Chains A and B, each alone.
Chain A
C-alpha cells in the first residue's frame, strides 16, 4: 500500500483551460501531489509505458490517471482500454473526468474498467465542488501498488 502523497497524478486533457481549472481546484483542495500533464491519449500512453518522448524516464512513484474522453489522436476510451488490458497498468486507478454525461458513455467506461466517472459541470461552482470532492476522496483513498508488481 502506498501513501497518497507518493502518488503522481497524470492529468490527460486536451483543453488547456480545463487542465488549468482542474489543477487550480485540486490545489485548492489541498492536493499537493505531483501532477503530470498529457494533452492527448497517445501522450498519456507514452508516459505510462515510458515510450516515445518518455522513453528514458522511469516512474518513481505510483500513478493515478485523470482522463478526459474526447481527445485527438487517441481518445479516452482507447487509453482506458489499453491500460486495463496491460499487466503493467491495469491496477492504476482511472478517474474519468469529462463533459459527457450520456448514460451509455458512463456505462461503457465502467465496463472498460474505470474506477470513478465524474462529469464536469458547466457551472463553475459545481465544477469546483466536484474537483474539491475528488481531491478529498483521493486524500482518503488507498492506492494499490502501481508498479505492476
Chain B
C-alpha cells in the first residue's frame, strides 16, 4: 500500500530523532524525506498537539509553521468531521492504528478531502501519533463519477424497454432487469437462478445452446432473431436477442449478457402489413379499374392489370416512368403544375374528388376517363393513388340516353301538338259533313214536297220503292251520318280539352282544400239529398296548386263516386287527406258498385268507361284528372272491389310550383 511508506519513514525519522547526537546530515535527511513525501505528514502528541509536520501541511492548510506549532490536529478538520476525527484519534491511541476520510479545513476556509492514516508510536518515550494524509479529491471525484455512471447504467437497465439479462456459463440467470421480467411474465426474483431452457421449447433451447457455444468459443457477440420464448402464462412470444460473452477481470469467460426485445407485436404487425399488402395487391390486380400509384415526381410506382388493359402499357413498361406518358399532350403541363403545387403547398384540387380526364393509350387513341385521386404520406415522401376508369362506354351510353331523352321530349311535344292540330284539322271535314248532310236534308225536303206530282208516272212497285227511299232510307242514312259526326265531334272536343289541359299555364296558389271540397259538394247537394248520399269530409290540408285544375280533379272524382254508387245501399263517400313532407295524399272512398279487376286498366284511359253504363259521359273525366295531376307532379291510382266500393288516391306535390311543369 502506498501509505505504508511514509509511516515507515516517519518511524525512521523518530528513531533518528531519538539519537541525541544525531548528525545534522541525519536531520537534514529526515527533513528531506518528510518534505519529499507527497501528501501531508504530521507527528502529533496524544492530545493531538502538533509536534512536527512537513511543508505540504503549510501549503495545504495555509497556516505558517509558527501557527501550526500552536495548533491541535483537530483544528485542521472541518466541523462536520470533528466527531469522526476525535473518535479516530481515540481509536489510534487505543488500537494503534486508524484511518479515515475527512475534510481538511484550510485557513482561508477551503475544504479538501483527505485520506488520513494514523499510527500510534513512541517518541522519546512519549506516545505520539504519526499521521499521513493523501489528497482524496481526485479519487473522490472518480468515485463519484463511478457512482454516477453506475447509477446511470442501472437507470438505463431498469427503465429500458428491452430486457437485459446475465447468465452464467450454465445458462442460469444471475441478473435480470425489470423489462426482461415483464417480457417473460416472471418477476425478477423468480427469474434469478432459473435456466434459459425453462422458458424455451426444446428446439429453441438446442438452437440457443449452439449459439451460446459459438459465442463462448469465438468471443464474438451474436444477434439472434425471432427466438421463441414461452411466457410464464404459457403464451408464446418472439424475442430478438443480442448476446455477448461476459468475462471476469482476468479475461476468463464467466457467462453471457444479453439484451432481448419482444418483437411479437412487431412481427404480428409486419405479418398484418404483409397480409394487407397482399390483399391490396390481389384486390388491385383483380380490380376492373386501373389502379396506379405515383410518387411525388409523378413517376409510376405501381400499375395494376386493369391499367395495363386500359392504357395498353405493361407494368414493366410503366413503373419508373412519368404518368404524363398516358396523358394527351395538352394536359401534361397542367398535370406537372398540379404536381408541383401539391408538392409545395400540399393542396390539390383533385385529391379526394372524382374528375373527368382524358387518357392516352399506347396505341395513340385517346379516351374519356374518370379519375379518383388519393394521396398518402410515407417516410419516402408523398404518393398518389389514382383509380382510373375508361368511361368511353359510359359516356356513349349517357350521350345516347340524353339523345333518347331529348327525342322523347320532342316526340312528347309532337304528340301534344299532334293531338291539338289533328283535333282542329278534323273539325274542318266535320263541318262539311254536317253542313252538307243538312243541305241534303233540305234538298230532300224539296224533292219530297214535289214527289206527289211525279207519282202518276210511276207504277206501284216503283212508287213504293221511291217512297221508301225518300221517306225512310235517305233520312235514316242522314240520321246515322249526323249522329256519327256528332259523336266524332264530341270525341274531338274531348281530345282537344285533354290536349289543352296538357298545354295550358298553371297558376299555383295556396288552396284551402276544406273550402274547395265543401263547395264542390255543395254543387252536388241536390243530387246528394235526393239520393240520400252521405259525404264525409275529413280535415284537409292546404295545397299549393292551380285552383281550376284542383276543382276539376275533385269535381270529376266526386261526381264519378256519386255516379257509380250502388242503388241497393245508402251511398257514403269519404274524403280524407294526409300531408307527408314533399306531397299530400288525398283519398276519396265510396261504397259504390266498384270496378272489376279486368276493367282497372281502363279507368284512366281516354274514351273508356268501365262496367255497366247507365249514366251519360264520354269516359274522359279521369283521363283529364290524370293529366292535371301529372302536371302538378302528382299521381293517381285506384283500388276497388266489385260490389264493395272504390278508393281513388292521388298525390299533389307540396311544392307544386316546382311540380307544375309539363307532365
A→B interface (CB under 8 Å): 15, 17-18, 21, 24, 70, 99-100, 102, 120-125, 127-128
Contacts and interface: CB of A to CB of B under 8 A. Distances in A.
B437 A124 contact: yes
| Residue of A121, A122, A125, A127 ringed by the most chain B CB atoms within 10 A | A122
Interface string B432-449: 101111110000000000
Interface stretch (B154-162, B390-398, B422-430, B518-526): B422-430
B424 A99 contact: yes
A80 B429 CA distance: 24
Nearest to A98: B424
A18 B436 CA distance: 10
A121 B435 CA distance: 10
The 9 closest A-B pairs by CB, nearest first: A17-B432, A99-B427, A124-B438, A124-B434, A21-B435, A122-B489, A124-B435, A122-B430, A15-B428
Nearest to B441: A124
B431 interface: yes
A100 B424 contact: yes
A100 B500 CA distance: 12
Given A17-B436, A99-B424, A122-B489, A127 B500 contact: no
Interface in B482-499: 485-486, 489
A21 B432 contact: yes
A4 B251 CA distance: 149
Specify the main secondary structure of chain B where it touches its partner: helix
B428 A99 contact: yes
A123 B434 contact: yes
A76 B434 CA distance: 24
A126 to B, nearest CB: 9
Given A102-B500, A122-B485, A122-B489, A18 B438 contact: no
Interface-central residue, A24, A100, A121, A124, by most chain B CB under 10 Å: A124
Given A122-B431, A127-B431, A70 B437 contact: no
A102 B424 CA distance: 10
A13 B435 CA distance: 16
Contacts of A24: 439
A63 B436 CA distance: 29
Interface residues of B, number: 19
Interface string B354-379: 00000000000000000000000000
Given A99-B424, A100-B424, A15 B432 contact: yes
Contacts of B428: 15, 18, 70, 99
A114 to B, nearest CB: 18
A24 B440 CA distance: 13
A18 B432 contact: yes
A123 B438 CA distance: 10
Interface of B: 420, 424-425, 427-432, 434-439, 485-486, 489, 500
Contact of A120 (B425, B431, B436, B438): B431
Nearest to A126: B434
Contacts of A125: 438
A90 to B, nearest CB: 28
A132 B425 CA distance: 24
A120 B427 CA distance: 9
A135 B434 CA distance: 21
A70 B431 CA distance: 14
Nearest to A69: B424
Given A102-B500, A122-B485, A122-B489, A70 B425 contact: yes
A121 B432 CA distance: 11
A124 B438 CA distance: 7
Nearest to B421: A70
Contacts of A127: 431, 434-435
A104 to B, nearest CB: 9
A17 B424 contact: no
Nearest to B492: A122
Nearest to B437: A124
Nearest to B432: A17
A21 B424 contact: no
14 contacts: A17-B431, A18-B431, A21-B436, A99-B427, A99-B428, A102-B424, A120-B431, A122-B434, A123-B486, A123-B489, A124-B434, A124-B435, A127-B431, A127-B434
Contacts of B420: 102
A79 to B, nearest CB: 18
A45 B436 CA distance: 30
Contacts of B430: 122
Contacts of B432: 15, 17-18, 21
Contacts of A121: 431
Given A18-B432, A124-B437, 12 more contacts: A15-B432, A17-B429, A17-B431, A21-B432, A99-B428, A120-B427, A121-B431, A122-B427, A122-B485, A123-B434, A123-B486, A124-B435
Contacts of B437: 124
A49 B426 CA distance: 32
Given A70-B424, A99-B424, A100-B424, A21 B500 contact: no
Nearest to A16: B432
